Structure 1
Amino acid sequence: MDMQTINTFLSTTAIELLIKVGAAIIFWIVGRWLIGKVVTLMQAAMNRNQVDPTLTKYLGSIVAIALNITLVLGILGYFGIQTTSFAAMLAGAGVAIGAAWSGMLGNFAAGAFMLVLRPFKVGDFVSVGGITGTVTELGLFATTLLTPDNVYTLVGNGKVFGDTIQNYSHMPVRRVERTAQLAGSVDPLDAIVRLKAAIAQIPNVATSPAPEVNLLDFKLEGPVISVRPYTHTDHYWQVYFDTNEAIARVGKEAGWPAPASTQIHRVTQA
Protein backbone atom coordinates (compact mmCIF):
# COMPACT_ATOMS: atom_id res chain seq x y z
CA MET A 1 0.00 0.00 0.00
CA ASP A 2 1.65 3.31 -1.14
CA MET A 3 1.48 6.63 0.71
CA GLN A 4 -1.05 8.03 -1.75
CA THR A 5 -3.54 5.29 -0.84
CA ILE A 6 -2.91 5.82 2.86
CA ASN A 7 -3.39 9.58 2.52
CA THR A 8 -6.60 9.03 0.57
CA PHE A 9 -7.91 6.66 3.28
CA LEU A 10 -7.01 9.08 6.06
CA SER A 11 -8.50 12.06 4.28
CA THR A 12 -11.77 10.35 3.44
CA THR A 13 -12.81 7.15 5.24
CA ALA A 14 -10.92 7.66 8.53
CA ILE A 15 -12.01 11.29 8.92
CA GLU A 16 -15.59 10.40 8.05
CA LEU A 17 -15.49 7.56 10.60
CA LEU A 18 -14.09 9.87 13.29
CA ILE A 19 -16.82 12.40 12.57
CA LYS A 20 -19.46 9.71 12.88
CA VAL A 21 -17.95 8.41 16.13
CA GLY A 22 -17.83 11.92 17.53
CA ALA A 23 -21.41 12.56 16.45
CA ALA A 24 -22.51 9.25 17.97
CA ILE A 25 -20.88 10.23 21.30
CA ILE A 26 -22.64 13.59 21.21
CA PHE A 27 -25.95 11.90 20.32
CA TRP A 28 -25.49 9.48 23.24
CA ILE A 29 -24.69 12.24 25.75
CA VAL A 30 -27.52 14.50 24.61
CA GLY A 31 -29.93 11.58 24.29
CA ARG A 32 -29.17 10.33 27.79
CA TRP A 33 -29.67 13.86 29.14
CA LEU A 34 -33.02 14.17 27.37
CA ILE A 35 -34.12 10.73 28.60
CA GLY A 36 -33.26 11.74 32.16
CA LYS A 37 -35.31 14.93 31.77
CA VAL A 38 -38.30 13.04 30.33
CA VAL A 39 -38.27 10.46 33.14
CA THR A 40 -37.86 13.18 35.78
CA LEU A 41 -40.78 15.20 34.39
CA MET A 42 -42.97 12.08 34.17
CA GLN A 43 -42.21 11.06 37.76
CA ALA A 44 -42.78 14.61 38.99
CA ALA A 45 -46.19 14.67 37.29
CA MET A 46 -47.10 11.31 38.86
CA ASN A 47 -45.99 12.54 42.28
CA ARG A 48 -48.15 15.64 41.92
CA ASN A 49 -51.11 13.36 41.21
CA GLN A 50 -50.24 11.32 44.33
CA VAL A 51 -49.43 8.12 42.42
CA ASP A 52 -47.84 5.43 44.59
CA PRO A 53 -44.04 6.04 44.84
CA THR A 54 -43.26 2.38 44.06
CA LEU A 55 -45.33 2.50 40.87
CA THR A 56 -43.76 5.84 39.92
CA LYS A 57 -40.27 4.42 40.33
CA TYR A 58 -40.87 1.28 38.29
CA LEU A 59 -42.75 3.05 35.50
CA GLY A 60 -39.86 5.51 35.30
CA SER A 61 -37.43 2.60 34.96
CA ILE A 62 -39.51 0.99 32.21
CA VAL A 63 -39.73 4.25 30.23
CA ALA A 64 -35.98 4.85 30.66
CA ILE A 65 -35.13 1.36 29.37
CA ALA A 66 -37.42 1.73 26.34
CA LEU A 67 -35.98 5.15 25.45
CA ASN A 68 -32.39 3.92 25.86
CA ILE A 69 -33.05 1.01 23.49
CA THR A 70 -34.53 3.46 20.98
CA LEU A 71 -31.47 5.71 21.33
CA VAL A 72 -29.06 2.82 20.70
CA LEU A 73 -31.01 1.70 17.63
CA GLY A 74 -30.99 5.27 16.34
CA ILE A 75 -27.21 5.56 16.75
CA LEU A 76 -26.67 2.21 15.01
CA GLY A 77 -28.88 3.40 12.16
CA TYR A 78 -26.78 6.56 11.88
CA PHE A 79 -23.72 4.36 11.28
CA GLY A 80 -25.59 2.64 8.46
CA ILE A 81 -26.16 -0.59 10.37
CA GLN A 82 -29.45 -2.24 9.53
CA THR A 83 -31.47 -2.10 12.76
CA THR A 84 -34.35 -4.22 11.45
CA SER A 85 -32.52 -7.41 12.41
CA PHE A 86 -31.76 -5.99 15.85
CA ALA A 87 -35.41 -5.06 16.37
CA ALA A 88 -36.49 -8.55 15.30
CA MET A 89 -33.91 -10.08 17.63
CA LEU A 90 -35.12 -7.93 20.53
CA ALA A 91 -38.72 -8.89 19.78
CA GLY A 92 -37.78 -12.58 19.72
CA ALA A 93 -35.88 -12.20 22.96
CA GLY A 94 -38.89 -10.46 24.47
CA VAL A 95 -41.16 -13.34 23.48
CA ALA A 96 -38.71 -15.90 24.87
CA ILE A 97 -38.32 -13.98 28.12
CA GLY A 98 -42.08 -13.53 28.37
CA ALA A 99 -42.65 -17.27 27.97
CA ALA A 100 -39.94 -18.17 30.48
CA TRP A 101 -40.97 -15.52 33.00
CA SER A 102 -44.74 -15.68 32.51
CA GLY A 103 -45.27 -16.07 36.25
CA MET A 104 -43.02 -13.10 37.02
CA LEU A 105 -44.74 -10.95 34.42
CA GLY A 106 -48.13 -11.97 35.82
CA ASN A 107 -46.97 -10.92 39.29
CA PHE A 108 -45.69 -7.66 37.83
CA ALA A 109 -49.02 -6.89 36.12
CA ALA A 110 -50.98 -7.79 39.27
CA GLY A 111 -48.67 -5.61 41.37
CA ALA A 112 -49.19 -2.64 39.05
CA PHE A 113 -52.98 -3.06 39.25
CA MET A 114 -52.86 -3.29 43.04
CA LEU A 115 -50.77 -0.16 43.31
CA VAL A 116 -53.43 1.65 41.28
CA LEU A 117 -56.56 0.09 42.84
CA ARG A 118 -55.15 0.04 46.40
CA PRO A 119 -57.17 -2.82 47.98
CA PHE A 120 -54.84 -2.48 50.97
CA LYS A 121 -51.83 -0.48 52.10
CA VAL A 122 -48.74 -0.99 54.24
CA GLY A 123 -49.79 -1.50 57.86
CA ASP A 124 -53.16 -3.10 57.05
CA PHE A 125 -54.06 -6.46 58.57
CA VAL A 126 -55.23 -8.63 55.67
CA SER A 127 -55.88 -12.16 54.48
CA VAL A 128 -54.49 -12.72 50.96
CA GLY A 129 -53.53 -15.87 49.09
CA GLY A 130 -54.43 -18.00 52.11
CA ILE A 131 -52.07 -16.04 54.40
CA THR A 132 -53.19 -13.71 57.18
CA GLY A 133 -50.90 -10.99 58.50
CA THR A 134 -49.85 -7.34 58.52
CA VAL A 135 -48.67 -5.84 55.21
CA THR A 136 -45.08 -4.64 55.55
CA GLU A 137 -44.32 -4.04 51.87
CA LEU A 138 -46.29 -3.90 48.64
CA GLY A 139 -43.91 -4.57 45.76
CA LEU A 140 -44.53 -5.01 42.04
CA PHE A 141 -43.80 -8.75 42.18
CA ALA A 142 -44.75 -9.82 45.70
CA THR A 143 -46.55 -8.63 48.82
CA THR A 144 -44.73 -9.03 52.13
CA LEU A 145 -46.73 -10.01 55.21
CA LEU A 146 -45.78 -10.43 58.85
CA THR A 147 -48.05 -13.13 60.28
CA PRO A 148 -49.37 -13.02 63.88
CA ASP A 149 -46.79 -15.65 64.89
CA ASN A 150 -44.03 -13.32 63.59
CA VAL A 151 -43.22 -15.13 60.34
CA TYR A 152 -41.93 -13.05 57.41
CA THR A 153 -43.96 -14.22 54.39
CA LEU A 154 -43.86 -13.31 50.68
CA VAL A 155 -46.98 -13.87 48.57
CA GLY A 156 -46.79 -13.49 44.77
CA ASN A 157 -48.98 -10.64 43.55
CA GLY A 158 -50.60 -12.90 40.96
CA LYS A 159 -51.89 -15.13 43.76
CA VAL A 160 -52.93 -12.10 45.82
CA PHE A 161 -54.84 -10.40 43.00
CA GLY A 162 -56.35 -13.65 41.67
CA ASP A 163 -57.69 -14.78 45.06
CA THR A 164 -60.03 -13.37 47.67
CA ILE A 165 -58.68 -10.32 49.54
CA GLN A 166 -59.91 -9.61 53.06
CA ASN A 167 -58.82 -6.30 54.56
CA TYR A 168 -59.54 -6.31 58.30
CA SER A 169 -58.23 -2.74 58.67
CA HIS A 170 -60.50 -1.15 56.07
CA MET A 171 -63.43 -0.63 58.45
CA PRO A 172 -63.11 1.25 61.78
CA VAL A 173 -63.96 -1.86 63.84
CA ARG A 174 -64.31 -5.62 63.44
CA ARG A 175 -66.32 -8.14 65.43
CA VAL A 176 -64.88 -10.62 67.91
CA GLU A 177 -66.75 -13.95 67.88
CA ARG A 178 -67.00 -15.85 71.18
CA THR A 179 -69.59 -18.17 72.77
CA ALA A 180 -70.49 -19.13 76.33
CA GLN A 181 -71.80 -22.64 76.94
CA LEU A 182 -74.14 -22.61 79.97
CA ALA A 183 -75.44 -25.44 82.10
CA GLY A 184 -79.08 -26.38 81.69
CA SER A 185 -79.97 -24.96 85.12
CA VAL A 186 -78.66 -21.44 84.33
CA ASP A 187 -81.17 -18.76 83.32
CA PRO A 188 -79.93 -17.58 79.88
CA LEU A 189 -81.69 -14.20 80.11
CA ASP A 190 -79.97 -13.40 83.39
CA ALA A 191 -76.67 -14.57 81.89
CA ILE A 192 -77.12 -12.19 78.94
CA VAL A 193 -77.59 -9.21 81.27
CA ARG A 194 -74.52 -10.12 83.32
CA LEU A 195 -72.33 -10.72 80.26
CA LYS A 196 -73.37 -7.45 78.59
CA ALA A 197 -72.32 -5.51 81.69
CA ALA A 198 -68.99 -7.33 81.90
CA ILE A 199 -68.13 -6.98 78.19
CA ALA A 200 -68.85 -3.24 78.30
CA GLN A 201 -66.05 -2.85 80.88
CA ILE A 202 -63.35 -4.41 78.67
CA PRO A 203 -60.78 -1.84 77.41
CA ASN A 204 -60.92 -0.92 73.70
CA VAL A 205 -64.40 -2.42 73.15
CA ALA A 206 -66.34 -0.12 70.81
CA THR A 207 -69.58 1.46 71.99
CA SER A 208 -70.86 1.79 68.42
CA PRO A 209 -71.77 -0.79 67.35
CA ALA A 210 -72.55 -1.96 70.87
CA PRO A 211 -71.47 -5.46 71.96
CA GLU A 212 -73.93 -8.16 70.91
CA VAL A 213 -74.84 -10.78 73.54
CA ASN A 214 -77.64 -13.09 72.39
CA LEU A 215 -79.15 -16.52 72.95
CA LEU A 216 -77.54 -18.44 70.11
CA ASP A 217 -78.50 -22.10 70.45
CA PHE A 218 -79.61 -24.97 72.68
CA LYS A 219 -77.54 -28.10 73.25
CA LEU A 220 -77.74 -31.11 75.55
CA GLU A 221 -75.41 -29.31 77.96
CA GLY A 222 -77.67 -26.24 78.06
CA PRO A 223 -78.17 -22.90 76.25
CA VAL A 224 -75.37 -21.28 74.24
CA ILE A 225 -74.81 -17.51 74.46
CA SER A 226 -73.04 -15.64 71.64
CA VAL A 227 -70.74 -12.87 72.86
CA ARG A 228 -69.69 -10.44 70.10
CA PRO A 229 -67.90 -7.22 71.04
CA TYR A 230 -66.53 -4.86 68.37
CA THR A 231 -63.05 -3.36 68.39
CA HIS A 232 -60.36 -1.93 66.12
CA THR A 233 -58.26 -4.63 64.49
CA ASP A 234 -55.15 -3.43 66.40
CA HIS A 235 -56.85 -4.50 69.65
CA TYR A 236 -58.53 -7.64 68.31
CA TRP A 237 -56.54 -10.23 70.25
CA GLN A 238 -56.57 -8.22 73.46
CA VAL A 239 -60.38 -8.00 73.33
CA TYR A 240 -60.61 -11.65 72.25
CA PHE A 241 -58.76 -12.95 75.32
CA ASP A 242 -60.31 -10.41 77.68
CA THR A 243 -63.74 -11.57 76.53
CA ASN A 244 -62.86 -15.16 77.39
CA GLU A 245 -61.70 -14.05 80.83
CA ALA A 246 -64.86 -11.99 81.35
CA ILE A 247 -67.05 -15.00 80.53
CA ALA A 248 -65.13 -17.16 83.01
CA ARG A 249 -65.21 -14.46 85.70
CA VAL A 250 -68.97 -13.82 85.36
CA GLY A 251 -69.68 -17.54 85.57
CA LYS A 252 -67.58 -17.91 88.70
CA GLU A 253 -69.09 -14.87 90.43
CA ALA A 254 -72.65 -16.00 89.59
CA GLY A 255 -71.95 -19.54 90.76
CA TRP A 256 -72.92 -21.17 87.47
CA PRO A 257 -72.38 -24.94 87.48
CA ALA A 258 -70.18 -26.50 84.84
CA PRO A 259 -72.19 -27.60 81.79
CA ALA A 260 -72.58 -31.33 81.34
CA SER A 261 -74.58 -33.50 78.98
CA THR A 262 -77.80 -34.88 80.42
CA GLN A 263 -78.79 -38.35 79.35
CA ILE A 264 -81.78 -40.36 80.49
CA HIS A 265 -81.40 -44.12 80.55
CA ARG A 266 -84.53 -46.25 80.74
CA VAL A 267 -84.35 -49.90 81.58
CA THR A 268 -87.29 -51.98 80.47
CA GLN A 269 -87.98 -55.45 81.66
CA ALA A 270 -89.29 -58.05 79.32
Structure 2
Amino acid sequence: MDVKIWLASIAPVATAIGFKVVGGLVLYLIGRWLIGAAIGVLSRVLTARNLDATLQRYIANILGVGLNIVLVVAILGYFGVETTSFAALLAGVGLAVGAAWSGLLANFAAGAFLIIFRPYKVGDYIVGAGVEGTVTEIGLFNTLITAPDNVAMIVGNSKVSGDIIKNYSAHAHRRVDRTAQLAFGVDPLEAIAKLKPALAAIPNVISDPAPDVEILDFNAMGTVLAVRPYCHTNHYWQVYFDTNKLIAATFGAAGYPAPYVVEELRGGKAKS
Protein backbone atom coordinates (compact mmCIF):
# COMPACT_ATOMS: atom_id res chain seq x y z
CA MET A 1 0.00 0.00 0.00
CA ASP A 2 2.87 2.36 0.83
CA VAL A 3 4.36 1.77 -2.61
CA LYS A 4 1.06 2.53 -4.29
CA ILE A 5 0.67 5.71 -2.29
CA TRP A 6 4.24 6.71 -3.14
CA LEU A 7 3.74 6.02 -6.85
CA ALA A 8 0.49 7.93 -6.80
CA SER A 9 2.20 10.91 -5.17
CA ILE A 10 5.13 11.09 -7.59
CA ALA A 11 3.14 10.34 -10.75
CA PRO A 12 1.97 13.95 -11.22
CA VAL A 13 5.51 15.21 -10.65
CA ALA A 14 7.02 12.69 -13.10
CA THR A 15 4.35 13.52 -15.65
CA ALA A 16 5.02 17.23 -15.30
CA ILE A 17 8.78 16.68 -15.64
CA GLY A 18 8.20 14.48 -18.67
CA PHE A 19 6.05 17.08 -20.37
CA LYS A 20 8.65 19.70 -19.47
CA VAL A 21 11.46 17.67 -21.05
CA VAL A 22 9.39 16.95 -24.15
CA GLY A 23 8.49 20.64 -24.37
CA GLY A 24 12.15 21.60 -24.07
CA LEU A 25 13.08 19.16 -26.81
CA VAL A 26 10.33 20.51 -29.06
CA LEU A 27 11.48 24.06 -28.31
CA TYR A 28 15.04 23.08 -29.23
CA LEU A 29 14.03 21.44 -32.50
CA ILE A 30 11.78 24.35 -33.47
CA GLY A 31 14.50 26.81 -32.51
CA ARG A 32 17.12 25.00 -34.59
CA TRP A 33 14.74 24.92 -37.54
CA LEU A 34 14.04 28.63 -37.20
CA ILE A 35 17.77 29.39 -36.96
CA GLY A 36 18.44 27.39 -40.12
CA ALA A 37 15.56 29.13 -41.88
CA ALA A 38 16.78 32.57 -40.77
CA ILE A 39 20.31 31.86 -42.01
CA GLY A 40 18.90 30.54 -45.29
CA VAL A 41 16.78 33.66 -45.80
CA LEU A 42 19.73 35.91 -44.98
CA SER A 43 21.96 34.02 -47.42
CA ARG A 44 19.37 34.36 -50.20
CA VAL A 45 18.96 38.08 -49.54
CA LEU A 46 22.73 38.64 -49.57
CA THR A 47 23.08 36.56 -52.74
CA ALA A 48 20.31 38.54 -54.42
CA ARG A 49 22.21 41.72 -53.58
CA ASN A 50 25.38 40.21 -55.16
CA LEU A 51 27.27 40.40 -51.90
CA ASP A 52 30.68 38.71 -51.91
CA ALA A 53 30.61 35.02 -50.93
CA THR A 54 33.27 35.57 -48.27
CA LEU A 55 31.24 38.27 -46.55
CA GLN A 56 28.08 36.17 -46.83
CA ARG A 57 29.65 33.26 -44.91
CA TYR A 58 31.09 35.60 -42.28
CA ILE A 59 27.74 37.31 -41.62
CA ALA A 60 25.90 33.96 -41.59
CA ASN A 61 28.37 32.56 -39.02
CA ILE A 62 27.87 35.55 -36.73
CA LEU A 63 24.07 35.30 -37.03
CA GLY A 64 24.19 31.55 -36.30
CA VAL A 65 26.29 31.97 -33.15
CA GLY A 66 24.08 34.78 -31.85
CA LEU A 67 20.81 32.94 -32.47
CA ASN A 68 22.12 29.74 -30.86
CA ILE A 69 23.02 31.69 -27.71
CA VAL A 70 19.49 33.14 -27.65
CA LEU A 71 18.05 29.63 -28.06
CA VAL A 72 20.08 28.27 -25.13
CA VAL A 73 18.97 31.15 -22.89
CA ALA A 74 15.33 30.62 -23.95
CA ILE A 75 15.46 26.89 -23.13
CA LEU A 76 17.02 27.57 -19.73
CA GLY A 77 14.27 30.13 -19.05
CA TYR A 78 11.66 27.55 -20.03
CA PHE A 79 13.07 25.16 -17.42
CA GLY A 80 12.85 27.85 -14.76
CA VAL A 81 16.47 28.97 -14.69
CA GLU A 82 16.79 32.66 -13.89
CA THR A 83 18.00 33.99 -17.21
CA THR A 84 19.03 37.37 -15.82
CA SER A 85 21.49 35.69 -13.50
CA PHE A 86 22.48 33.34 -16.28
CA ALA A 87 23.19 36.25 -18.60
CA ALA A 88 25.39 37.85 -15.95
CA LEU A 89 27.12 34.51 -15.40
CA LEU A 90 27.56 34.07 -19.13
CA ALA A 91 29.09 37.51 -19.40
CA GLY A 92 31.49 36.72 -16.55
CA VAL A 93 32.42 33.39 -18.06
CA GLY A 94 32.84 35.05 -21.43
CA LEU A 95 35.20 37.60 -19.90
CA ALA A 96 37.24 34.87 -18.22
CA VAL A 97 37.32 32.73 -21.33
CA GLY A 98 38.17 35.76 -23.42
CA ALA A 99 41.14 36.53 -21.21
CA ALA A 100 42.28 32.93 -21.37
CA TRP A 101 41.61 32.59 -25.09
CA SER A 102 42.93 35.93 -26.23
CA GLY A 103 44.27 34.20 -29.32
CA LEU A 104 40.73 33.36 -30.43
CA LEU A 105 39.67 36.97 -29.96
CA ALA A 106 42.69 38.05 -31.99
CA ASN A 107 41.65 35.62 -34.72
CA PHE A 108 38.09 36.97 -34.59
CA ALA A 109 39.30 40.58 -34.92
CA ALA A 110 41.71 39.58 -37.69
CA GLY A 111 38.84 37.90 -39.54
CA ALA A 112 36.86 41.14 -39.42
CA PHE A 113 39.82 43.08 -40.83
CA LEU A 114 40.30 40.47 -43.57
CA ILE A 115 36.68 41.01 -44.59
CA ILE A 116 37.01 44.80 -44.50
CA PHE A 117 40.38 45.25 -46.22
CA ARG A 118 40.07 42.15 -48.45
CA PRO A 119 43.69 41.13 -49.11
CA TYR A 120 42.12 37.95 -50.44
CA LYS A 121 38.66 36.42 -50.89
CA VAL A 122 37.13 32.98 -51.32
CA GLY A 123 38.46 31.40 -54.51
CA ASP A 124 41.79 33.27 -54.53
CA TYR A 125 45.06 31.34 -54.76
CA ILE A 126 47.40 32.65 -52.07
CA VAL A 127 50.61 32.00 -50.18
CA GLY A 128 50.55 33.09 -46.56
CA ALA A 129 51.46 31.90 -43.06
CA GLY A 130 53.71 29.26 -44.61
CA VAL A 131 50.93 27.56 -46.60
CA GLU A 132 49.81 27.75 -50.23
CA GLY A 133 46.52 26.99 -51.91
CA THR A 134 43.02 28.17 -52.80
CA VAL A 135 40.97 30.00 -50.15
CA THR A 136 37.87 27.89 -49.49
CA GLU A 137 36.38 29.77 -46.55
CA ILE A 138 37.11 32.71 -44.26
CA GLY A 139 35.49 31.83 -40.93
CA LEU A 140 35.07 33.67 -37.65
CA PHE A 141 38.44 32.48 -36.38
CA ASN A 142 40.18 30.55 -39.17
CA THR A 143 40.81 30.60 -42.89
CA LEU A 144 40.36 27.29 -44.72
CA ILE A 145 42.87 26.82 -47.54
CA THR A 146 42.86 23.87 -49.94
CA ALA A 147 46.37 22.95 -51.11
CA PRO A 148 47.09 21.90 -54.72
CA ASP A 149 47.25 18.26 -53.53
CA ASN A 150 43.67 18.66 -52.15
CA VAL A 151 44.70 18.79 -48.48
CA ALA A 152 42.60 21.11 -46.32
CA MET A 153 44.69 23.47 -44.16
CA ILE A 154 43.10 25.50 -41.35
CA VAL A 155 45.07 28.62 -40.41
CA GLY A 156 44.25 31.19 -37.72
CA ASN A 157 43.13 34.50 -39.19
CA SER A 158 45.61 36.46 -37.07
CA LYS A 159 48.49 34.31 -38.36
CA VAL A 160 47.54 34.91 -41.97
CA SER A 161 46.87 38.64 -41.57
CA GLY A 162 50.15 39.13 -39.68
CA ASP A 163 52.22 37.46 -42.40
CA ILE A 164 53.22 38.45 -45.93
CA ILE A 165 50.40 37.40 -48.27
CA LYS A 166 51.00 36.61 -51.93
CA ASN A 167 47.72 36.73 -53.82
CA TYR A 168 48.16 35.11 -57.23
CA SER A 169 44.53 35.82 -58.17
CA ALA A 170 44.75 39.58 -57.68
CA HIS A 171 45.55 40.18 -61.36
CA ALA A 172 44.08 38.83 -64.56
CA HIS A 173 47.14 36.77 -65.53
CA ARG A 174 50.24 35.15 -64.08
CA ARG A 175 53.69 34.43 -65.55
CA VAL A 176 55.02 30.87 -65.75
CA ASP A 177 58.81 30.86 -65.27
CA ARG A 178 60.73 28.03 -66.92
CA THR A 179 64.31 27.71 -68.20
CA ALA A 180 65.78 25.79 -71.15
CA GLN A 181 69.40 24.66 -71.19
CA LEU A 182 71.18 24.66 -74.58
CA ALA A 183 74.39 22.79 -75.31
CA PHE A 184 77.51 24.54 -76.64
CA GLY A 185 77.27 25.01 -80.39
CA VAL A 186 73.48 25.45 -80.46
CA ASP A 187 72.43 28.84 -81.80
CA PRO A 188 70.28 30.43 -79.05
CA LEU A 189 68.59 32.79 -81.52
CA GLU A 190 67.46 29.82 -83.59
CA ALA A 191 66.12 28.10 -80.46
CA ILE A 192 64.26 31.27 -79.50
CA ALA A 193 62.71 31.51 -82.96
CA LYS A 194 61.44 27.92 -82.65
CA LEU A 195 60.08 28.24 -79.12
CA LYS A 196 58.19 31.54 -79.32
CA PRO A 197 55.50 30.60 -81.84
CA ALA A 198 55.16 27.13 -80.30
CA LEU A 199 54.53 28.64 -76.85
CA ALA A 200 51.70 30.78 -78.19
CA ALA A 201 49.95 27.62 -79.40
CA ILE A 202 49.81 26.01 -75.92
CA PRO A 203 46.18 25.91 -74.68
CA ASN A 204 45.27 28.73 -72.24
CA VAL A 205 48.45 30.75 -72.94
CA ILE A 206 47.29 34.34 -73.43
CA SER A 207 48.49 36.54 -76.28
CA ASP A 208 48.72 39.80 -74.31
CA PRO A 209 51.33 39.88 -72.94
CA ALA A 210 52.95 37.58 -75.46
CA PRO A 211 55.22 34.75 -74.29
CA ASP A 212 58.84 35.71 -73.61
CA VAL A 213 61.86 33.65 -74.65
CA GLU A 214 65.17 35.38 -73.96
CA ILE A 215 68.80 34.56 -73.16
CA LEU A 216 68.93 34.36 -69.37
CA ASP A 217 72.48 33.25 -68.59
CA PHE A 218 75.58 31.30 -69.63
CA ASN A 219 77.05 28.39 -67.69
CA ALA A 220 79.45 25.46 -68.03
CA MET A 221 77.02 23.62 -70.34
CA GLY A 222 76.11 26.45 -72.70
CA THR A 223 73.32 29.02 -72.96
CA VAL A 224 70.31 29.18 -70.63
CA LEU A 225 67.04 30.51 -72.03
CA ALA A 226 64.25 32.07 -69.98
CA VAL A 227 60.92 30.64 -71.20
CA ARG A 228 57.96 32.65 -69.86
CA PRO A 229 54.39 32.20 -71.10
CA TYR A 230 51.46 33.98 -69.39
CA CYS A 231 48.13 32.51 -68.34
CA HIS A 232 45.28 32.77 -65.82
CA THR A 233 46.03 31.39 -62.34
CA ASN A 234 43.51 28.56 -62.82
CA HIS A 235 45.58 27.23 -65.74
CA TYR A 236 49.03 27.70 -64.19
CA TRP A 237 50.01 24.06 -63.67
CA GLN A 238 48.60 22.95 -67.01
CA VAL A 239 50.67 25.62 -68.81
CA TYR A 240 53.68 24.85 -66.60
CA PHE A 241 53.77 21.16 -67.53
CA ASP A 242 52.84 21.77 -71.19
CA THR A 243 55.73 24.23 -71.45
CA ASN A 244 58.17 21.60 -70.16
CA LYS A 245 56.86 19.11 -72.73
CA LEU A 246 57.10 21.71 -75.48
CA ILE A 247 60.75 22.51 -74.70
CA ALA A 248 61.69 18.82 -74.79
CA ALA A 249 59.70 18.18 -78.00
CA THR A 250 61.00 21.29 -79.83
CA PHE A 251 64.65 20.68 -79.01
CA GLY A 252 64.30 16.97 -79.82
CA ALA A 253 62.71 17.71 -83.21
CA ALA A 254 65.49 20.21 -83.99
CA GLY A 255 68.14 17.58 -83.20
CA TYR A 256 69.84 19.65 -80.52
CA PRO A 257 72.47 17.66 -78.59
CA ALA A 258 72.08 17.06 -74.86
CA PRO A 259 73.91 19.68 -72.75
CA TYR A 260 77.24 18.61 -71.28
CA VAL A 261 79.90 20.23 -69.13
CA VAL A 262 83.02 21.47 -70.92
CA GLU A 263 86.09 21.51 -68.70
CA GLU A 264 89.28 23.40 -69.47
CA LEU A 265 92.45 21.26 -69.20
CA ARG A 266 96.09 22.25 -68.99
CA GLY A 267 97.62 22.96 -72.36
CA GLY A 268 94.51 24.73 -73.64
CA LYS A 269 92.61 21.58 -74.59
CA ALA A 270 89.13 20.91 -73.41
CA LYS A 271 87.32 17.72 -72.51
CA SER A 272 83.64 17.00 -72.09
* Same-fold call, TM cutoff 0.5: yes
What is the rounded CA distance, in whole Å, between the counterparts of 1:158 and 1:231 in structure 2?
Answer: 32
Within-5 A mapping of 1:1-270: 47=46, 50=51, 52-60=55-63, 92-266=92-266
Q: Shift of residue 92 of structure 1?
A: 4.8
Alignment partners' CA distance in 1, 2:202 and 2:68: 57
The Cα of 1:54 is off from its aligned counterpart by 2.7
**1:56 partner letter:** I
Superposition misfits of 4+ residues, deviation over 6 angstroms = 62-68
Q: CA RMSD in A?
A: 3.3
Contact 2:126–2:133 under 8 Å retained in 1: yes
Equivalent position amino acid for 1:131 in 2 = V
Per-residue CA deviations over 1:203-245 (Å, capped at 9, x if unaligned) read 1101001101100001111010000000011111111011011
| Cα distance in structure 2, aligned partners of 1:237 and 1:65 | 43
Q: Structure 1: how far apart are the matches of 2:90 and 2:144?
A: 33
Deviation at 1:190, TM superposition (A): 1.1
Distance 1:149 1:107 in 2: 26
Residues matched between the structures, number: 219
Q: Specify the alignment match of 1:74 in structure 2.
A: none
- How far the C-alpha of 1:137 sits from its partner, in A, is 1.5
Q: Deviation at 1:267?
A: 5.5
Cα displacement string for residues 79-105 of structure 1 (whole angstroms, at most 9, x for unaligned residues) = 9xx98xx85x66654442122111111
Deviations 1:96-144 (A, max 9, x none): 2122111111111111111222222222211121111112211111111
Alignment correspondent of 1:75: none
- Cα–Cα, structure 1 residues 147 and 214, in superposed 2: closer, same or farther, change >3 Å? same
- Structure 1-normalised TM-score? 0.70
Classify 1:187/1:169 alpha carbon distance in 2 versus 1 (closer, same or farther; 3 Å).
Answer: same
After superposition, the Cα gap between the structure-2 partners of 1:49 and 1:247, relative to the gap in structure 1 and judged at 3 Å, is: closer
Deviations 1:136-181 (Å, cap 9, x if unpaired)? 2111111111111111111111111111111212211100000001
The DSSP-based 3-state class of the residue aligned with 1:160 is helix
| Secondary structure at 1:98 match in 2 | helix
Distance change in 2, residues 1:136/1:93 (3 Å): same
Cα deviation, residue 50, structure 1: 3.8
Name the TM-score, length of structure 2 as normaliser.
0.69
Distance 1:203 1:66 in 2: 53
Greater C-alpha Rg = 1
Residue 56 of structure 1: how far off its partner (Å): 2.4
For 1:156 and 1:238, the matched residues in 2 are separated by 31
| Partner secondary structure for residue 119 of structure 1 | coil
Distance 1:248 1:67 in 2: 65
Q: Distance in 1 between matches of 2:257 and 2:117?
A: 54
Q: Equivalent pairs: percent with the same residue?
A: 51
